[in-house]
Structure 1
């Protein structure tokens, strides 16, 4: 309010003796009444309008958090699918599987395939692996020992069999006819000289991943092209749909038995018209008493026709944020009103007694201190929550970066320790020659100094060659297949393995042709194959006396064969049989993927890798490649 020259208020006239002033107190009470009405209206409006602002801000934070969680869920699902997709491809190439299809009445052979499938299923955490003949009858399965064994069951009516026969491969999500458990069926056609031999099928179930999703605050579920729920951390929602399905779709699903006898009823999810956001929905979970508000986000799962949905709960976070915002806005408004009240009070202060003025001033200061203290407490809590959220986000980013960094450095770490001694020797020699050069310099012998410096330069070239090859080997391959020198690739592999050869006192013999031979390959990846074979040979002869490893190159027409042999104990039949099977290894700390990866690289070059035992003892691995013109 503005100060006016009203003599009744600003400069009150003294009241007659024995009668108190009447005009001033009446005006003071009226001013305070107006101020109280305006302040109450302002306080109500500000606190009411602050609620939606705080709620919208909280919903924005929830939406961003849900988007981040959605990315993690999609990555988890895609990783699980990609990990299993290679298994049908590998098994379709397995000679034992092909032989079993050609000898369906050989019970001993089929029992061997059953055992192999059983071991692979346990090692790769797949639900079941089974082999169908050309008629669609299962002749071998990983669950052959179980009461619900698939062996002898007929699956020609299943979509994954029909699609694999027609297109060569298929991916199909359905309810198991025997196990009554849902999962993805990955199938691949196996052809022989006369056409179709059969179909290999791998069933993947997602119980562990759904259980992991259940530990998140968000509710997750995956739908197919029709909107039917396939995967979810809410079991009661499985095989329900986002909306009512057309009767034609329901009839097709029923006829195919894809989802068994599931009701295909719509999910209890509806748009939340009161929220004012297109992504706001209300949903009823089985463990809740009624509909609850959520924010819905969705993303397509790459390489599939699926969509992953997340429902992020907005309560009580949104309500708490609205309350906190209203509290802060109310405190700020009260503080502002307190300031205005102080001004108004000062304007009226001249009308009161000096003692009343002091008491009123003390009361005002007390109230301001209380409001300020409450505001500071609220700000500190809000600041603490923001700092904690930033810290958690920073920790998450650091963990992701450390995981990526560890993955990049794993292969380089295997060879770095073995070449450390190789680098330490020339470094020590450099120090010695540098000290000698200083002595010769003091004795004024420049020729000797120059000789020492020349030797130091040669040693630095040696160190530089080793580190340069380490950098080249650690660099991502260009995937450019071309004509390369076979001898250069062998020498590059030996640079990385020669320190270990010396440490184990292993004799290295090389049988190379007089002229340089060029092969069709890629330099870094060919060195990767040779390093893997040399490392395996060194493991085979570790601790043996008079150990020897031989590298031989033979040219036979348009083919070049690089043989790496050792004088170890050789390969027993079980190890020989499982050499190129993923995750099968005889090493305690091995993953069983080294030779499988090398075989895939050789095949990409148009070649192959074979293993055998030498007559005089030990094993020999032969890499066959195309000879470059």
Structure 2
């Protein structure tokens, strides 16, 4: 406790807080300004770097496209001088050219190579064996045919009328002695070029002189336009069938902001920088778009972190100085208060330790007493369980004793009759039978008396066969009344386990009694397996005892609750029998486990230490 004399003045707290408030406002203002400046600089730097990357990517894309164009342009130039081509146009068999064109197209990666006669009809083609063969088709309306016949060579990008695939047509006129003989045409598709462009990391497209997209890495952009067309011009292009029925809609590109010149696409995420480069030897323009948002975020984050690192030392020094000033002011007040508080805490702590020590001693004693009560309760509970079991088998045992008693009476009356006649030998035989029946009654009562006694003492070697015989004798009447004939594996006479005989018999009786009740409730089924089986096997230093039944079985939830006190699947059960069995086996140093399946029965496995 802090006495009123040593408490700080009430007005000291606001006076100590206002310098920190001013310092916090200034620090936040500096950080905000630095972060805004770093974000602006980072964006400009990232855009500049990305734009340079887009220009480099455009250069690479131009090189890929130009290499493909130059390679394909050489094909019609060479074929225009081929003697086989001339013979076919001068009346020879054009079918020989089909396979030749097919082989050349495969080597040069051309889409189609085909030969048109002077009327514009295809007489040979590399795709002669395909369903979309060009052979026999009239291409006299095509611009690449008309311009080649007029100027000698022509190039045109158009949509195929037969294949319906876009391509670049390179044509060259073939002249004979009497004038033009026909036109050789090579169609080039740029799928591989567009795939190579995709590896550049962005998007790319090529437009012709009118702004129509010819090649693109975004298929949805093909045959779109960079600017809206006049309806008359668009109608004229559609009539030429150069681009089929393409709507010639404008590209879905918009400028994100005027300051940086970034682009956005309606069907693509993020912003892009662009770089435009003319394609040499053509009237085309190549546009490359590279994404820039990630680069902007990275650059802004780097600069903002740098700004924070530069500002934090100054702010930290200021905070340290301010804190030292505040601490020096408060130290004088705290010293006196701490001294008084320390004395009070020592006294209070001493009293608390004394009280805690007394409580601890009392708790230890109470715990010992509780442990003793728990041990006694366990033994009494086990005895109560045995007595409950005895109560259930009393009727059968009474019947078992009544039979020998009736026989004893009969043999005694016979002996008296024999003695009355002076016939000693039959009388001695009848009295011998009486003695045997009396011993049988004594064995039954001794077994029941030992089963009812409280199990005491340490574990000791127990002959397993004796415990099994005792358990079966106790359950003889219930087994016969229920019509169950258990199958018992023979137990070696010298096999001993660590335990106490009475309690081991109690565990076996409890498990087999549960099996008998389960079979009686479910009805004894006729199956190849015995309804109740008691098995034994030796596994190294342990002996395994199994009690298996073919009863109704249990679900996984019921099995999980088997060894939980006061939880039972029987209508009148207390849920203590298996708990006691588990406790007894655990005290023996063994284990008790259950495995059940609905409709297939249960198997209880007892693992005990083998007595050497």
- Tell me the TM-score normalised to structure 2 length: 0.51
Alpha-carbon distance, 1:129 to partner: 0.6
Q: Who is 1:97 aligned against?
A: 85
Secondary structure of the residue aligned to 1:217 is coil
Structure 2 residue 116 is matched with structure 1 residue 128: no
Secondary structure of the residue aligned to 2:80 is helix
Q: Who is 1:166 aligned against?
A: 150
Supply the distance in 1 between the matched residues of 2:291 and 2:34 (Cα, whole angstroms).
Answer: 27
Alpha-carbon distance, 1:22 to partner: 8.2
> Contact conserved, 1:139 with 1:151, CA < 8 A, in 2?
yes
Q: Who is 2:266 aligned against?
A: 284
Q: Who is 1:367 aligned against?
A: none
Q: Cα gap change, 1:356/1:119 in structure 2, threshold over 3 Å: closer, same or farther?
A: farther
Q: Who is 1:66 aligned against?
A: 54
Alpha-carbon distance, 1:325 to partner: 2.6
Q: Cα gap change, 1:190/1:18 in structure 2, threshold over 3 Å: closer, same or farther?
A: closer
Structure 2 residue 166 is matched with structure 1 residue 149: no
Q: Cα gap change, 1:101/1:18 in structure 2, threshold over 3 Å: closer, same or farther?
A: closer
Aligned match for 1:40, one of 28, 35, 45: 28
> Contact conserved, 2:228 with 2:249, CA < 8 A, in 1?
yes
> How many residue pairs get matched?
332
Q: Who is 1:304 aligned against?
A: 282
Supply the distance in 2 between the matched residues of 1:223 and 1:93 (Cα, whole angstroms).
Answer: 33
> Contact conserved, 1:183 with 1:205, CA < 8 A, in 2?
yes
> Contact conserved, 1:219 with 1:310, CA < 8 A, in 2?
yes
Alpha-carbon distance, 1:267 to partner: 1.3
Q: Who is 1:433 aligned against?
A: none
Supply the distance in 1 between the matched residues of 2:157 and 2:334 (Cα, whole angstroms).
Answer: 83
Supply the distance in 1 between the matched residues of 2:334 and 2:107 (Cα, whole angstroms).
Answer: 87
Supply the distance in 2 between the matched residues of 1:144 and 1:91 (Cα, whole angstroms).
Answer: 17
Supply the distance in 1 between the matched residues of 2:173 and 2:280 (Cα, whole angstroms).
Answer: 23
Secondary structure of the residue aligned to 1:351 is helix
Q: Who is 1:272 aligned against?
A: 256
> Contact conserved, 2:47 with 2:260, CA < 8 A, in 1?
no
Unpaired runs of at least 5, structure 2: 336-612
Supply the distance in 1 between the matched residues of 2:110 and 2:229 (Cα, whole angstroms).
Answer: 31
Aligned match for 1:217, one of 195, 201, 224: 201
Root-mean-square deviation over aligned CA pairs: 2.4
- Divergent runs of 4+, >6 A: 21-25, 354-357
Alpha-carbon distance, 1:346 to partner: 4.2
Q: Who is 1:509 aligned against?
A: none
Unpaired runs of at least 5, structure 1: 1-16, 358-629
Supply the distance in 1 between the matched residues of 2:42 and 2:60 (Cα, whole angstroms).
Answer: 27
Structure 2 residue 302 is matched with structure 1 residue 324: yes
Aligned match for 2:246, one of 262, 265, 289: 262
CA deviation digits over 1:396-455, x for unaligned, max 9?
Answer: xxxxxxxxxxxxxxxxxxxxxxxxxxxxxxxxxxxxxxxxxxxxxxxxxxxxxxxxxxxx
Alpha-carbon distance, 1:165 to partner: 1.2
Supply the distance in 2 between the matched residues of 1:101 and 1:200 (Cα, whole angstroms).
Answer: 10
Q: Who is 1:391 aligned against?
A: none
Q: Who is 1:192 aligned against?
A: 176
Structure 2 residue 273 is matched with structure 1 residue 295: yes
Secondary structure of the residue aligned to 1:316 is helix
Secondary structure of the residue aligned to 1:353 is helix
Secondary structure of the residue aligned to 2:168 is strand
Aligned match for 1:334, one of 312, 315, 330: 312
Alpha-carbon distance, 1:31 to partner: 2.2
Q: Who is 2:343 aligned against?
A: none
Q: Cα gap change, 1:234/1:355 in structure 2, threshold over 3 Å: closer, same or farther?
A: farther
Q: Who is 2:162 aligned against?
A: 178
Supply the distance in 2 between the matched residues of 1:219 and 1:310 (Cα, whole angstroms).
Answer: 6
Alpha-carbon distance, 1:44 to partner: 1.7
